[in-house]
Amino acid sequence: MLKKVLIANRGEIAVRIIRACREMGIRTVAVYSEADVNSLHKELADESICVGPAPSNKSYLNVKAIIEATCLKGCDSIHPGYGFLSENSSFAKMCNEIGIKFIGPSSEMIELMGNKSKAKETMKNAGVPVVPGSDGIVDNVLEAVKVALKIGYPVILKASAGGGGKGIRVAYNEEELVKFYDIVKQEAKISFNDDSIYIEKFIENPRHIEIQVMADEYGNCVHLGERDCTIQRKNQKMLEETPSGIISEKLRQKMGKIAVNAVKQIGYSNVGTIEFLVDKNKDFYFMEMNTRVQVEHPITETITNIDIIKEQLKIASGKKMEYKQEDIKFIGHSLEARINAENPDKNFMPCPGEIKELHIPGGNGIRVDTAIYPGYKIPPTYDSMIAKIIVHGKDRKESISKMKSALGEFVIDGVNTNIDFLYKILENKNFINNNYDTSFISKEF
């Protein structure tokens, strides 16, 4: 078993990982930036070490400082969480070369899936239906026009190295395509230091349905059902649920089987998520694979009673998976709401600052993953997500009631949050009636 893990992350996910390690008797080392001297993850870990100044590229993305900290503290492994270095294949490679276990898939797998256009090709070859589009990267605007003519408008331009909903534009005609081509290329260069882009058919009014997979290092793999992450703003997830109201047991099994087969075929291990779009005819298309733990993993944990972080640690320790597909049971319904320090009235502008008063909701079936506390100062430097509420009810109706109750109880004084906005979603008739698609927020609010 792993003995001492360095957690190369911050915020709620660092706290989440520390707790899982503690339960398993694994020692933890937190890394923190100068902006995070008073952070909860630093306090909760057994040991901690500063890895640099506030900007991420000088601390949480500072490969040299993080590797040095790992060696200095005598850690045998690194958990990268999500974001930051979690999908950096050269970092994973470096870890393994110097005998530090990177808790995640192999660097080859991260590289294969990290290039979204290459990932589509790989998945297509593994028998997964993919969104129709360009064969790989589109090198120039003429080629883009040609592809769009073939697949038909609207089309979507996407950064091949993209993530976090950035580097994506929809074009409804040739004029827009020509205009957006350069814009997306520029955005991709700035955000991901890689300006390669690809084109897909824009699937209209889809649901975002993703399948959680889990594979050990001996070729055993199961899926843990789907998560419906259709409620998005600017291609970023806001509210997630499982099971999805549009997925029948038959479709769940079909998508799950295709996902598991693909994972086995490419030789992927550890946990991962295969993201699909599902259209009105219930046809589904692979979009991308995230080779890390996801923000919304807890809703799967509550309905399957499987601790995904602990499973990551066990798999990375070289343990054989104790589950077979028939052991995976789905009980009840779960919702997650992402609480961000932002102002919905000012175009969701981030709202860092000091938390003056705080009351965190609780109760039967209510879980809050967070790293905030009264008096905590949210730094302006990082992601604005400050908490996640996860509820588990016997059915969707009960989950919605629980979530409304929890949101109503949450008190965060000192900064603006999206709590009221989330409450309005839960009161929306179309949401309640399961009548929504990825355009829900832009249409209804």
Site for Mg ion, rule CB under 5 A: 275
182 vs 154: CA distance, rounded Å: 17
Contact yes or no for 411/340 (Cβ under 8 A): no
- Which of 43, 50, 235, 379 touches ligand ADP by CB under 6 A? 235
Name the catalytic one among 207, 233, 292, 396: 292
Q: What is the CA radius of gyration of the chain?
A: 21
Give one DSSP letter per residue of 7-50, joined into a string.
Answer: E---HHHHHHHHHHHHHTT-EEEEEEEGGGTT-HHHHHSSEEEE
* Residue from 152, 111, 156 nearest 138 by CA: 156
Q: Closer CB to ligand ADP, residue 331 or residue 349?
A: 349
Q: Is 350 in the site for ligand ADP (CB under 6 A)?
A: no
Encoded one letter per residue, x for contact with ligand ADP by CB under 6 A and - for no contact, window 102-141 reads -----------------------------x----------
* Residue from 329, 326, 390, 383 nearest 352 by CA: 383
- Which of 53, 55, 136, 163 touches ligand ADP by CB under 6 A? 163
* Residue from 428, 416, 356 nearest 384 by CA: 416
Size of the site for ligand ADP (CB under 6 A): 29
**Kind and range of the H or E element at 289?**
strand 284-290
Q: Give the burial string for 108-128 (b: 16+ CB within 10 Å, else e).
A: ebbbbbbbbbbbbebbeebeb
Q: Is 312 in the site for ligand ADP (CB under 6 A)?
A: no
Enumerate the β-bridge partners of residue 192.
Answer: none
> Measured in whole angstroms, how far is the alpha carbon of residue 25 from the centre of its chain?
27
Q: Closer CB to ligand ADP, residue 289 or residue 412?
A: 289
State residue 42 phi and psi, 5-degree precision: -65, -40
Minimum distance from CB of 295 to ligand ADP (Å)?
4
Using CA atoms, how far residue 240 sits from 221, 267, 296, in Å, is 24, 29, 7
Interface stretch with ligand ADP, choices 32-40, 155-163, 343-351, 416-424 (CB under 6 A): 155-163
Distance in Å from the first CA to the final CA of the chain: 49
Q: Is 299 in the site for ligand ADP (CB under 6 A)?
A: no
Q: Closer CB to ligand ADP, residue 236 or residue 253?
A: 236
Using CA atoms, how far residue 313 sits from 23, 268, 306, 352, 392, in Å, is 11, 16, 13, 33, 24
With CB cut-offs between 5 and 8 Å by kind, which of ligand ADP, Mg ion, none does residue 82 bind? ligand ADP
Q: Closer CB to ligand ADP, residue 197 or residue 355?
A: 197
Minimum distance from CB of 383 to ligand ADP (Å)?
4
Minimum distance from CB of 88 to ligand ADP (Å)?
9
With CB cut-offs between 5 and 8 Å by kind, which of ligand ADP, Mg ion, none does residue 200 bind? ligand ADP
Minimum distance from CB of 200 to ligand ADP (Å)?
4
Q: Is 20 in the site for ligand ADP (CB under 6 A)?
A: no
- Which of 74, 127, 165, 318 touches ligand ADP by CB under 6 A? 165
Q: Which two tokens stand for residue 417?
A: 């949050």
Contact yes or no for 153/173 (Cβ under 8 A): yes
Residue of minimal Cβ distance to ligand ADP:
163
Q: Is 11 in the site for ligand ADP (CB under 6 A)?
A: no
Q: Closer CB to Mg ion, residue 275 or residue 409?
A: 275
32 vs 37: CA distance, rounded Å: 7
Q: Which two tokens stand for residue 262?
A: 């693909």
Q: Which two tokens stand for residue 441?
A: 């927020």
Q: Is 228 in the site for ligand ADP (CB under 6 A)?
A: no
Length of the chain: 445
The answer to whether residue 27 is catalytic is: no
Interface stretch with ligand ADP, choices 203-211, 247-255, 358-366, 415-423 (CB under 6 A): 203-211
CA dihedral 14, 19, 22, 28 (to 10 degrees): 10
Q: Which two tokens stand for residue 362?
A: 């609780």
Q: Is 162 in the site for ligand ADP (CB under 6 A)?
A: yes
Minimum distance from CB of 322 to ligand ADP (Å)?
25
With CB cut-offs between 5 and 8 Å by kind, which of Mg ion, ligand ADP, none does residue 383 bind? ligand ADP
Minimum distance from CB of 279 to ligand ADP (Å)?
9
- Which of 30, 78, 168, 184 touches ligand ADP by CB under 6 A? 168
**Kind and range of the H or E element at 197?**
strand 197-201
Q: Is 348 in the site for ligand ADP (CB under 6 A)?
A: no
Q: Closer CB to ligand ADP, residue 217 or residue 383?
A: 383
> Measured in whole angstroms, how far is the alpha carbon of residue 21 from the centre of its chain?
21
Q: Closer CB to ligand ADP, residue 208 or residue 402?
A: 208
> What residues are annotated to the active site?
292
Residues near ligand ADP (CB under 6 A) are 82-83, 131, 156, 158, 162-165, 168, 200, 202-203, 206, 208, 232, 235-237, 275, 277, 287-288, 290, 294-296, 383, 438
